[in-house]
Amino acid sequence: MIAETGRNIYEAKNLLERGEVVAIPTETVYGLAGNALNPEAVSKIFAVKNRPTFDPLIIHVSGITEIEKYTQNFPEKFSQLAQKYMPGPLTFLIEKKNIIPDIVTSGLGKVAIRIPDHILALELLKNLDFPLAAPSANPFGYVSPTSARHVFDQLGEKIPYILDGGSCKIGLESTIIGLENGATVVYRKGGLEIEKIEDILQEKIILKEHSSSNPQAPGMLEKHYSPDKKIEILSADTEINQTENIGFLGFEKLKSEININNQFILSKNGDLQEAARNLFEGLRWFDKTTLEKIYVELVPEHGLGLAINDRLRRAAAKS
């Protein structure tokens, strides 16, 4: 099978209604979508991604009333956030209704749910009478795709259709939040800045750092979102080994010690939004080179910089 790439939501719809999986664009990253109410379709998603079934999936719906259709006890706090930031790069963990099969949540009682802010994804969802389960459309553990081309490069021989919605405007996965004893907890830093959530809720939110032994979200696995190259985070006292065949992934400025052809700058203007949009393209670009090692520079640690640095640290973590 070789995936067809196109912009036809009806072709995607027909395949999804037949229980097939299709790649779809969202504002964060591309998703590998299947009918969330059909366990066979969901198991195809796991198979195509080579994803362990203990790692649950996010479901995608077109509006807030759909969230209520598939979940129970929708918290008041979430409704405030939803008014302002949905559709958008935010995912809620909420108690699921029985209609959501256990395979979607890996047997957990809560389901991750979000409304993607992308016109093609929303049009598609409005034309379906089921929600879409969709993890990022990459092999498990690798960097998420932010263009149809990225999806094609890795999954093109395993899926029938890629709905092409252009480059993702956010470029980082959604921020995942839940409630624990009434407190708001972030399980994955992502495309919606934590400061914006705190601003709406008027409370400090708790960051659950990764745990590699018992991940709440495998996006929390220490080694995840990883390119193939050896990555090292640059610090003030790093001695760059000039004898190696090295590259540099920087925030704003080139590094004078390193060959200019081997450098990728995330945002010449030092803009975190732009850096987020370019991050995964940059990591993938290095994987196509013959460089042996990539030095990366962390970005400022606020706003989207928190999520960008989180991905860079995981990319650099030893497995």
CA distance 247 to 244: 9
26 binds, options ligand TXA, Mg ion, none, Cβ within 5 to 8 A by partner type: ligand TXA
- In sign, the C-alpha dihedral spanning 66, 59, 283, 311 is positive
Query: 38, 71, 91, 309: which one contacts ligand TXA (CB under 6 A)?
Result: 91
CB of 262 to Mg ion, least distance (A): 27
- Give the residue with the Cβ less far from ligand TXA, 111 or 231: 111
3-class SS shares of the chain: helix, strand, coil, % to 5? 30, 20, 50
Contact assessment for residue 134 and residue 57, using Cβ atoms and an 8 Å cutoff? yes
Query: 21, 22, 26, 45: which one contacts ligand TXA (CB under 6 A)?
Result: 26
Query: 35, 38, 62, 136: which one contacts ligand TXA (CB under 6 A)?
Result: 136
CA distance 30 to 25: 5
Residue 263 touching ligand TXA (CB under 6 A): no
Residue 122 touching ligand TXA (CB under 6 A): no
User: Among the candidate windows 64-72, 173-181, 206-214, 256-264, which touches ligand TXA by CB under 6 A?
Assistant: 173-181
- CA-nearest of 169, 189, 187, 119 to 276 is 169
CA distance 88 to 197: 12
Token look-up 């719809």 returns: 13
134 binds, options ligand TXA, Mg ion, none, Cβ within 5 to 8 A by partner type: ligand TXA
Please tell me the count of residues contacting ligand TXA according to CB under 6 A.
Answer: 27
- Give the residue with the Cβ less far from ligand TXA, 67 or 111: 111
CB of 229 to ligand TXA, least distance (A): 21
Rounded-to-10 torsion of CA 71, 140, 187, 305: -130
Residue 227 touching ligand TXA (CB under 6 A): no
CB of 262 to ligand TXA, least distance (A): 29
Query: 35, 174, 184, 309: which one contacts ligand TXA (CB under 6 A)?
Result: 174
Our measurement of the distance from residue 12's CA atom to the centroid of its chain's CA atoms, rounded to an integer in Å, reads 21
Contact assessment for residue 7 and residue 23, using Cβ atoms and an 8 Å cutoff? no
x/- mask, ligand TXA, residues 272-311, rule CB under 6 A, reads ----------------------------------------
Please write down the long-range contacts of 219-224, taking CB distance under 8 Å and 24 or more positions apart. 219/173, 219/176, 219/187, 219/188, 220/187, 220/188, 221/141, 221/314, 222/314, 222/317, 223/141, 223/314, 223/317, 223/318, 223/319, 224/141, 224/314
- Give the residue with the Cβ less far from ligand TXA, 224 or 255: 224
User: Among the candidate windows 56-64, 78-86, 257-265, 292-300, which touches ligand TXA by CB under 6 A?
Assistant: 56-64
Which residues contact ligand TXA by CB under 6 A?
26, 28-29, 31, 55-58, 91, 93, 105, 108, 110-112, 116, 134-136, 173-174, 176, 187, 216-219
